[in-house]
Structure 1
Amino acid sequence: MVSSIIKYILVLLLFTTASLPSYAAFNASPPTQGAFFNGKYRNLAAEFGKTNGIDKLNQGFNSMFGYNGKQQLYYAYSENGQYKAHYIRAINPTSGDDIRSEGQSWGMTIAVMMNKQEEFDNLWRFARRYQKNSWSHSDPNKQGVYAWQLKFDSNGYVYKNDDGPAPDGELYFAFSLLNADARWGSQGEFNYYDDAIEILGVIRNKLMEDSIIRFSPYLDNLTDPSYHIPVFYNYFATRVSSNHERDFWNSAATKSRVFLKNHFTKVSGNPHWNLPTFLAQNNGEPIIDYLFNGQANPGHWYEYDAWRVAMNVATDAHLYGAESWHKDTINSLLGFLDYDKNASSDKCYKQLYSYGSAETQQCAGTGQKATNAVATLASTDSSIATDFFNDFWSESQPTGDWRYYNGCLYMLAMLHVTGNFKLY
């Protein structure tokens, strides 16, 4: 009798174990060959045992691009009662809503990765018509670039509030268009490929200095570390037609990686505690204090733009191949934030830092958690990676007044961590 019970229990355990879904454990040794070469895109959600990754991704897209009024960022634009296009609305309760090249290009990137051509075309139609500057603009630096900020007049019509460029917008525009060409071809309403090549020319000729992306075409030896996505440049190199252009973009990728390595060397330890800064010189030296009128944040702050640097480093490691500097950078950055989280009385790391001390007592929000979840693609610390990933995964899609930036980063991160941010 006892023997029969034991056999029954063993069979039951065997059946139960065999019926459980199996997941690959978190890979604490990021591959040295990137998905750019082998097409193997990591699914972090699956590595961490999450079974609802695709459902959350689809739900996130439907909420961002739907008409729910809570998480929605995708809006139709009409003039005189006639529909024209769609835009990504930057909800801003303090200064009034606006439209940014950053958000428009992110929206296009999300749409192409989700294989949503209609939404992609609606956004691109708006960007071409309302954000792009004329080639006959009186300022040569602004010819052919995309105005970084549009606002709404009293009649609800858009106008260029600042027609200067924010070069990360151009980078994502070109990146999304080349992927659109690869996925859908360029025989429809738009020639995605030709439009992308035109933007690459603008980036090269107006928005780079010695092959390094500029913060502004009016300020020399100044870059924004969050604009550095080296694997984008390598991808551009595979899509251009001439050897000369190919060499340029591959060289730009190399210089961008050198910049990032130099920058993180210069912010290691006290007083920066391994946190990237808002602005830097081209050699990676952090910029301290204010440089120009209207600058929102001192250059030495780890702040909103700077959140994205960790995501960009990990994206480079994942798509192009993890090197020691990628892993060291992410381990050090997440390590400090993890230390501060455990050491602080409110048990959280903060949104803003200056020289290693918190500039605000406000805990990290969804957008910052999103970028740090992507950062775990280059982490070699399973325990810390698990904490940062779960911090993001437990977040709801942003709603309310500040949902623009947090919501865009949420969706970009969902693409990355489910293995759906790809190079086509």
Structure 2
Amino acid sequence: MAKQKKAKLMILLLMMMTLLLPVYSSVHATAPQKPFPQHSVYANGVIKPSHVTQAIMDQAVQAKWNAWKSAYLKQAGAGKYIVEYNDQGETVSEAHGYGMVLAVIMAGYDTNAKAYYDGMYQYYKEHPSENNPYLMAWKQNSSYQDIEGANSATDGDMDIAYSLLLADKQWGSDGAIPYLQEGISMINAIMDNDVNQAEWTLRLGDWATSGSYNTATRPSDFMLNHMKAFEAATGDARWTNVINKTYSIIQTIYANNSAATGLLPDFVVLKNGVYKPASAGFLEGPNDGYYYYNACRTPWRIATDYIVSGDTRALNLLTNLNSYIQTKTTNKPQNIRDGYKLSGSTLGSYNSGAFYAPFGVSAMTSSVNQAWLNKLWDHTVNSAPELYYEDSIRLFSMLVMSGNWWTP
């Protein structure tokens, strides 16, 4: 009888453990594993603002996130969210990618971050590109209808895929959304449709498969930190080809077109076997071959790879870029303007956050920029809000500058 009672007790205990297991798994999956603030350890020699405490920097990022989500993160039906990128209530995949990355990184501070993220994921899944269902149709109107062609833009695709890898590390993939598998599927789709595998260049989107568009690329898409994470997640060595080619294009444009400034153009095209700045009117307007509203992101995107991995292949460019912009502005962030020719002459007249904030990220590459970095941090934190694009880039730049950027 004693043995029977003991056996029944063991069976009862096993049943209780089985019932409790899904509850434990759910909690494990939803509790942030890498909560904000992260205080990442960057590559040797990388600096951060030195005139304010870490706590003050963290609080500044939190305040900017609160303002950003209040202004731009909107519900798009039951359980879904979008990032409004203009006052017509429209959205684009670029904005969606920004929102998904930010939501993952701010988890732990923001208790609603997972709900925001999963809602943005659901919206992305409802708006597939007509060329590959794992990529996102690039633009929707205020009624959430795809407009101007249901094809993808590479920058949005890359940020969404990267966010899925982050989400796996943040919440695990054993919940309702298998973040890791979804991320891998999207990365494979990017390789299939957003990469020109004859040249190993990033396309402008999954639509750019013919004529001069097929070999064109956009330096603001040069998210080398993302691409290294894509290779690590998938084991696909072809990403090394894309990374190497991307650095090669950076070096070519720098050597041939901007050795004195380190500036990159909005668009790059392949002419007679050489990568060159695009001509005026190539895709968006007269400044397509200049440092304008696409290329303004390059100091943030390219420097981030050095900051995280220590890869020095763009360090000479970044060093010259830092020297040029400090001299150009007499060390005053308020003198930075929204547009430059690659030779260094000024095009713009406005002090845009989309331009000055990324220079703060590039300044992190050397201690000789410490005073300049401190000024850029203050200017980025204290300047008035602008529009979706400027405010998004300012928040991302502050995340990196404050030491709160991390990789999967």
The answer, yes or no, to whether TM exceeds 0.5 is yes
Find the partner of 2:245 among 255, 278, 281: 255
Q: Within 2, Cα distance between the matches of 1:286 and 1:235?
A: 28
Partner of 1:417: 401
Find the partner of 1:230 among 215, 220, 224: 224
Check 1:231–1:367 CA distance in 2 against 1; reply closer, same or farther (3 A cut).
Answer: same
Check 1:399–1:108 CA distance in 2 against 1; reply closer, same or farther (3 A cut).
Answer: farther
Find the partner of 2:182 among 187, 195, 219: 195
SS of 1:159's partner is coil
Cα deviations by residue, 1:16-74 (Å, 9 ceiling, x for unpaired): xxxxxxxxxxxxxxxxxxxxxxx6237854534445011111122222223xxxxx211
Find the partner of 2:281 among 290, 296, 303: 290
**Any conservation in 2 of the 1:397–1:407 contact (CA below 8 Å)?**
no
SS of 1:250's partner is helix
Structure 1 segments of 4+ aligned residues over 4 angstroms from their partners: 42-46, 396-400
**Any conservation in 2 of the 1:226–1:312 contact (CA below 8 Å)?**
yes
TM-score computed with the length of structure 1 as normaliser: 0.76
**Any conservation in 1 of the 2:361–2:400 contact (CA below 8 Å)?**
yes
Cα deviations by residue, 1:115-144 (Å, 9 ceiling, x for unpaired): 232221121111112x323xxx4xxx4554
Find the partner of 1:215 among 173, 198, 204: 204
**Any conservation in 2 of the 1:327–1:380 contact (CA below 8 Å)?**
no
Q: Within 2, Cα distance between the matches of 1:343 and 1:412?
A: 22
Q: Gaps (5+ residues) in structure 2?
A: 1-39, 108-112
1:148 aligns with 2:143: no
1:300 aligns with 2:297: no
Find the partner of 2:321 among 308, 317, 333: 333
Q: Within 2, Cα distance between the matches of 1:55 and 1:377?
A: 20
Structure 2 residue identity aligned to 1:419: G
1:186 aligns with 2:173: yes
Partner of 1:311: 300
Find the partner of 2:309 among 316, 320, 325: 320
Partner of 1:161: 147
Check 1:205–1:373 CA distance in 2 against 1; reply closer, same or farther (3 A cut).
Answer: same
| RMSD, matched Cα | 2.5
TM-score computed with the length of structure 2 as normaliser: 0.78
Check 1:201–1:398 CA distance in 2 against 1; reply closer, same or farther (3 A cut).
Answer: farther
Name the count of aligned residue pairs: 349
Partner of 2:20: none
**Any conservation in 2 of the 1:75–1:86 contact (CA below 8 Å)?**
yes
Structure 1 residue identity aligned to 2:400: H
Q: Gaps (5+ residues) in structure 1?
A: 1-38, 67-71
The correspondence of residues 57-206 of structure 1 with structure 2, limited to 5 A, is: 57-66=61-70, 72-78=71-77, 83-92=78-87, 96-115=88-107, 116-129=113-126, 131-133=127-129, 137=130, 141=131, 144-152=134-142, 157-162=143-148, 163-206=150-193
SS of 1:187's partner is coil
**Any conservation in 2 of the 1:266–1:286 contact (CA below 8 Å)?**
no
